[in-house]
Structure 1
Amino acid sequence: MTSQGFQAVQRLIDLANAVRTHPELPREVAVSLLAHHGEGPQDLTEAALSDADLRELRGAALKMTEILTESDTDRAAVALNELLADHAAAPRLSRHDGHPWHLHVDRGDAGWADWFLASSALALAQILTEHGRATWGECAAANCRKLYHGTGPGSPRRYCSTTCASRTRVAEHRRRKQTHTSAHK
């Protein structure tokens, strides 16, 4: 997997988590997040990223959440194909703003939302084909809704962080211990 794919997926995860937490994600937070993921200052001015663009980008992030919370690989693949059919153009190699060569599938005149949907769908499709499954999801820990992406070895990931995984294991251990103690009284 190229680092570009991982960057696009991490941008997707970060933006989707931000919008899920703050549905009216403020401009300064969105701009900071996009800058962190390589968007140049000239692309993040109010003239280049209007309030309407920002609204559509928030909506696109929420739309991608539907795929990021889909655990069935076949349904995720169908949804990705639909997004690519609706928002992508023929792939082309691009090198700009100091980035290495990478694939673009957005239409040349695409707005922020279409660009985000096309590039995110491409990144997830690349990961799905490389790993043969959806390696993303929503944290399984109680009271956590963070989205994650994981491709490490071993069992499929279920938690957004080691903190959530540990907290869940400790809670389950305490529950079993309490059940065992109650059963022997």
Structure 2
Amino acid sequence: MIFGHDTESSLQAVVALINSAEGPDTLTTVRDVDAWYAEHRYTGRRDGDAAELASLRALRPVLRDLLTADRDRAAGLANTMLADAGALPQLVRHDDQDWHLHAVSGDAPLASRVVVETAMAMIDVVRMDETSRLFLCADEGCGGIVLDLTRNRSRRYCSTACGNRNAVAAYRARRGAREA
């Protein structure tokens, strides 16, 4: 594990949230939020309404900016996000998770918790000088963000679909070159 569990979990959740805007938008209903919330094991307040959906959708470009910023800019953005939210980091333990950081109360709106958890995760990324683990998908037609948590930094695509599409295109190009 490169980062702590809570940092990796937050980064995976925010990358999924941001990438939901790529291609066909996959965050269009409250049910989509329910699925994202459950998959990424968020806890705390859920309003489960259209306003919450809209607030998460509105966060995507803001958080994309944070994750694609260079190290110095990411530090400044994270600091601003934490200050704006009145974040107060605290160690907590709940459900089956051991001690980890929360920086806002569980009854804060979901969008606020997502911003703060992402900013906290980016603090670890910046401190460890690992911003190169976040980058844009190598698929030229995709704008998705890749979170590369592999040891050898070998991940290039944001999803299996992008990887498969590029592998098939490379195969067809090789086959076409042989036939020509």
Interval containing the TM-score (normalised by the shorter chain): 0.7 to 0.9
The one-letter amino acid paired with 1:17 is N
**Matches of residues 103-118 of structure 1 in structure 2 within 5 Å?**
103-107=101-105, 110-118=108-116
State the SS of the aligned residue for 1:100: strand
The equivalent of 1:32 in structure 2 is: 35
Deviation at 1:94, TM superposition (A): 1.2
Residue in structure 1 matched with residue 6 of structure 2 by the alignment: 4
- 1:2-25 per-residue CA deviation (whole Å, 9 max, x = no partner) reads 112111111111111113441762
Do the aligned partners of residues 32 and 79 (structure 1) sit closer, same or farther apart at CA in structure 2, a change above 3 Å counting? same
Counterpart contact for 1:73–1:134, Cα < 8 Å: no
For residue 97 of structure 1, the aligned residue among 95, 102, 118 is 95
Report the alpha carbon displacement of residue 163 of structure 1 after superposing the two structures with TM: 7.0
Report the residue type matching 2:61 in the other structure. L
Which runs of structure 2 are paired with 1:56-95 in the superposition (5 Å)?
Answer: 56-70=55-69, 72-95=70-93
Residue in structure 2 matching 1:18, options 20, 30, 40: 20
Counterpart Cα distance in 1 of 2:138 and 2:101:
33
Percentage of identical aligned residues:
28
| Residue aligning to 1:159 | 157
Q: Conserved in 2, the CA contact under 8 Å of 1:128 and 1:134?
A: no
Give the match for residue 50 of structure 1: 49
String of CA shifts for 1:105-160, please: whole Å, max 9, x gaps.
12565211111100011112212222443421221321112211114345686532
State which drifts further: 151-160 or 11-20: 151-160
Alpha carbons 1:53, 1:112 under 8 Å: kept: yes
Rounded Cα–Cα distance in structure 2 between residues aligned with 1:158 and 1:87 = 33
Say whether the 8 Å CA contact 1:19–1:62 is kept in structure 2.
no
Unaligned runs of 5+ in 1: none
Counterpart-to-counterpart distance in 2, 1:154 and 1:113: 33
Q: TM-score by structure 1 length?
A: 0.75
Change (3 A) 1:97 1:61: farther
Give the length in aligned residue pairs.
Answer: 173
Distance 1:134 1:121 in 2: 16
Larger radius of gyration: 1
| Residue-by-residue CA offset, 1:80-99 (whole Å, 9 max, x unaligned) | 22212212412101122332
Bigger mean CA deviation after superposition, 142-151 or 79-88: 79-88
Q: CA deviation at 1:58?
A: 1.8
Is the 2:11–2:118 contact (alpha carbons within 8 Å) kept by the matching residues of 1? yes
